[in-house]
Amino acid sequence: MSTPGIRVIVPCYNSDTTIEKCVLSILNSKGVEFELYLIDDGNNNILTSIKKEYPINVIKTPGQEGAGRSRNIGTYNFKGQVVVFIDSDVQIHSETISSLIKPINDSLAEATVGSYSSPSSNNFYDKYKHLYLTRRYNTMGTYINNSFWSAICAVDFKTFKNINGFKECFTGAGPEDIDLGIELSVHGARILSVPHAQGIHLSEFSFIKILKNDIRKGSEDIYIHWTRKVPIMYNRHVSKSDIFAVFAACCIPICLLLQNFIGFIPLVLSFLFYLIVRIRYLKKVFVGEDFLFLVRSFFMTYLLDVIRGYSVIKGTSLFILESISEGKYKPFSKGIN
């Protein structure tokens, strides 16, 4: 099944509960041949047995290196055309890999990204997050700038080498794919969103997990854009309506606190402005859901917009701290340049 033309790389950290489903879904891919590499970055106990059962390669990292370095390690000694990256908690559809690589092979893009498929969960928070991801991004099928999503993606390997792959200085997972998207755009690479490249997210979202994820991702996004001197609006995650919504969402509690001094009208106007700005978004993302789900979604969206406002402050503050320290303090970094 192996061919030097395509390599699929799965970084694995704490992946025992999901990795076998991930591997099986990749091996069941249709219309494409590839070699599959799992990168063991720690806290994995079943990779040895999986290696004996399936036609895969397993590489052990020296220690807990992080997602960026793990993906780079997976590309070592590769001499083919395309590298595909899939997260260990994603179960892809059978046509996902072929959908990712086709635009690259057809010279329509140097990089492609997919998305999660529609949710089937009864957990409100998991369903909310998946509807947001699938209905906002899955239908685009357009070129994107200064943004990348490494959970389901592919990159022309020559382009990947030219930009020196993922940055290896970041801890955990997150900043490296934001940075890669900017690096690709800076070098003129075309990044295409591919609607049919989908996968099921096997790790269920909870209320706390969404909050932690959005705070971390949001502050990372702001920090990286400040660091790379790229306006935050120049990616698919931020539109003018998003900026207005976050501003209005943050104005509401401020007006509430200052109500005794400024009166009740500013609070009402802030709420109405927020509702007007977000009504189109709510219709697009949560169309077809029942009334109770829509009400809960409205309040969840409001909370996340407030968190986005906090993330702007946090990400900007981290950038300022790094600037003041002349680079001695480096957020999200392992201290490797």
Range with the poorest average pLDDT among 42-51, 112-121, 156-165, 229-238:
229-238
The closest alpha carbon to 312, from 267, 253, 247, 256, belongs to 247
This prediction has a pTM of 0.90
Helix 175-186 and helix 207-228, axial crossing angle in degrees, nearest 10:
40
**Tokens 């009208």 sit at which residue?**
265
Is the predicted pLDDT of residue 242 greater than 50, yes or no? Answer: yes
What mean pLDDT, rounded, does the chain reach? Answer: 90
Is the predicted pLDDT of residue 63 greater than 90, yes or no? Answer: no
Per-residue confidence band for 4, with pLDDT thresholds at 50, 70 and 90: low
Phi, psi of 140, deg, nearest 5: -70, -60
- Domains of the chain, each with CATH number or no CATH: 6-205 (3.90.550.10), 206-337 (no CATH)
d(CA 66, CA 69): 6
**Tokens 């057809």 sit at which residue?**
106
Per-residue confidence band for 21, with pLDDT thresholds at 50, 70 and 90: very high
pLDDT at 138: 59
Phi, psi of 57, deg, nearest 5: -115, 140
Per-residue confidence band for 283, with pLDDT thresholds at 50, 70 and 90: confident
Is the predicted pLDDT of residue 209 greater than 90, yes or no? Answer: yes
Q: What is the pLDDT of residues 243-267, one digit of tens each?
A: 999 999 999 999 999 999 999 999 9
